[in-house]
Amino acid sequence: MDTLRQYFSRLTNRVRVRGRTFRPTSPPLICPETGNRLLSNGSVLIEKRHGRKYEIMHGIPLLVPETKANSSGRKPSSELVAMIAKEYDNTLDPEAIRSILSTRFVFRERWIQIESDQFIDRVFNSSKVLPEALADATDVDMINVVPGDHRLSCIFDLEEVPTSTDFSMNVTLRNGGDEAIDSSGPYPFLIGHRWSRDIPGGQALETVEGHRTPLLCSIMPGHSMTIPVAIATPAAGGSYRLDIMPLQENALWFTDAGVAFNVQVSDNAVFPPPTSWRQTNVKRSYNEDHIEALRLAELWISDRFVGRELNIVEVGGNASPMIAGLDYANRLNFDVDPYGLMIGRHANANHVAAGGCYPVDFILADGLNLPIEDGWADAICVFSAFHHFPDPVELLRSLESKLSSNGLILLMCEPVGHVHRSGIDDGYLAELRKGVNEQSFALWEYDQIFEKSHLTIYRSQLDAGSLKVALCRKEP
């Protein structure tokens, strides 16, 4: 006969064992490495077949492979904790904030590491602006040629352009050397272009150099930057070869590092905005623009789907996902910033507890490798984050595989047009110096991105400097 103490001891052990039992996650998540279903016991996710394990911290599954979390050795001040708590109406536990900000996360991919630090950088530097003195801190006075396997790449096609026209086109430059490169000093690093064609009736090749485009700021070794190259087209029509190459002025052209296009130059060619896009001239503030985007998202999703519960996903929602404003039960917010996700998850849980809405699930994951089964998502929303992905075509193709048969990808509040060095603002420049992938696209570039992704436009609205578009699969 058990004593009362023995009875309670056995009962407690059974409860503990039950608590360690792994159950299917809800909503269903898959392993980002194997694609198999994940099971959860509340603190760890496990893929049983291959033994993959993923930690859960502050309610956030860490589903970026090889994520490492340890103490940062940096303790946030009481003032900083109070400032964050105040942002969320003092509903967050100060100890939870302190624990989150005292953790250091390390990722395998460089671009994920840079993006993941955005929230923590803004928090610890919230009252600081990069002083002007830092503007040249990483600039290089290039008195010698900068060696290295520098590379230009471009995701766009250029088949026909108008004569005597100035336009710009995004290329990506990777610094393959051991030194920073910059457009300063007597041998500035620039991007140039050359037009060449066979002279009619002759044997010679006519080559004309175009003007140079400076880098937006220094590019550190191993880093890449998207740069809109200014291009002036020839005055005479005909068939040309356009070479875009990096160079050091007064030194050399990196001829093996460039990209080339066979281009027809014609009086009749134009770069029109797609005629199917609804255009307005309305200019809104950042907050007003996002409110309008949320209104459109709700309208477009409800137009597309009738009579069933939907699975809604946001990529890049960080601490404040816009889909929290959409009244659906199944909502997942994916981001690579663990700090923002953890703060946002605590805030959302408190909001739900107060009767505010359905919960949003916050998950650390790469947008290029979402840990959900193919066909699960009815709508995937990206608000002001699409342009941060290095390869937008690769992103859209990856997201398309996760869509249900009638699914939509919504790209909202995306910048339109190019940012050049002469007109760059301090905030944009500060992000570039940290290595953040900042870029924006011209209308014809967006058009090509969607075409290369095998998607078509379901609904669109082009406001002043802000694109909002819903994409769907093309009809077979």
Q: What's the mean pLDDT in 341-369?
A: 87
The reported pLDDT for the residue numbered 37 is 95
The pLDDT, as a whole number, for residue 49 is 92
- What is the reported pLDDT for 130? 34
Token digits for 204? 């010679």
Tell me the CB-side half-sphere exposure of residue 411, using CA atoms within 13 A. 30
Rounded to whole angstroms, the maximal C-alpha distance in the chain is 110
3 state SS of 370 = coil
Residue 469 has pLDDT above 90, yes or no: yes
Q: What is the pLDDT of residue 10?
A: 52
In this predicted structure, the answer to whether residue 105 has a pLDDT above a threshold of 90 is yes
pLDDT tens, residue by residue, 15-39: 444 445 778 888 889 999 999 999 9
Average pLDDT estimate for 333-347: 94
Contact 243, 196 (CB under 8 A): yes
How many alpha carbons fall within 13 Å on the CB side of residue 145? 11
- Given this model, what pLDDT does residue 16 score? 43
pLDDT tens digit sequence for 213-258: 999 999 999 899 999 999 999 999 999 999 999 999 888 899 899 9
Q: How confident is residue 4, by pLDDT bands cut at 50, 70 and 90?
A: low
* 308-332 per-position pLDDT tens digit: 789 999 999 999 999 999 988 899 9
pLDDT of residue 274: 64
Per-residue pLDDT, 127: 40
pLDDT for the residue 134: 34
DSSP state of 429: H
Tell me which of 410 and 269 has the higher pLDDT. 410
Q: CA separation (Å) from 244 to 116, 221, 236, 372? A: 33, 21, 19, 40
